[in-house]
Amino acid sequence: MAYNSTTVPHHHHPTTSASHSHGGGMGNMMMRMTFYFGFKNVELLFSGLVINTAGEMAGAFVAVFLLAMFYEGLKIARESLLRKSQVSIRYNSMPVPGPNGTILMETHKTVGQQMLSFPHLLQTVLHIIQVVISYFLMLIFMTYNGYLCIAVAAGAGTGYFLFSWKKAVVVDITEHCH
């Protein structure tokens, strides 16, 4: 069976009827399960958003790239907001075994925030936006379109590179399982 990179072969299964279709109204279209590089008839998230030209694919690539960058920026922004809004700092000391049977005291800093506060409400709304964007990016990747997959990966990598370089990394010197 020969086909080019922009068409999907259709297989007829006698036990499959319209009511048993897993495509949710896709008719005769079958979902691809392998990576391909094409730009004809590529559905992007919604049935009405179909890519059919190289220009549309280029526009979709840029939009997906920017969405993935935004996702990475949003993650870092949420961490930064969380650090700024933390209240009620508490220090806890606990004994830990030291060398030669000695006991050492290890101090942990615990921070929290109030549930009924504007910072927590803002974090909740931003979390919802982050989750929705992450699912959009996952579904875009699951189109198996090589161009769109590259856009997701390149956008996420670029976003991480641009936004995460200032991110403080806490290294626990007592952690021995590296």
What are the domain boundaries of the chain? 2-7+30-91+110-168
Q: What pLDDT is recorded for position 89?
A: 57
Local confidence pLDDT in tens for the 178 residues of the chain: 344 444 444 444 444 444 444 444 445 556 778 888 988 888 888 888 899 999 999 999 999 999 999 999 999 888 888 777 765 555 667 777 878 878 777 776 665 666 677 778 888 899 999 999 999 999 999 989 999 999 999 999 999 999 887 765 555 555 544 4
Q: What pLDDT is recorded for position 57?
A: 93
CB atoms within 10 A of CB 52: 12
Q: What pLDDT is recorded for position 24?
A: 45
Q: Quick one: tokens of 118?
A: 């504007």
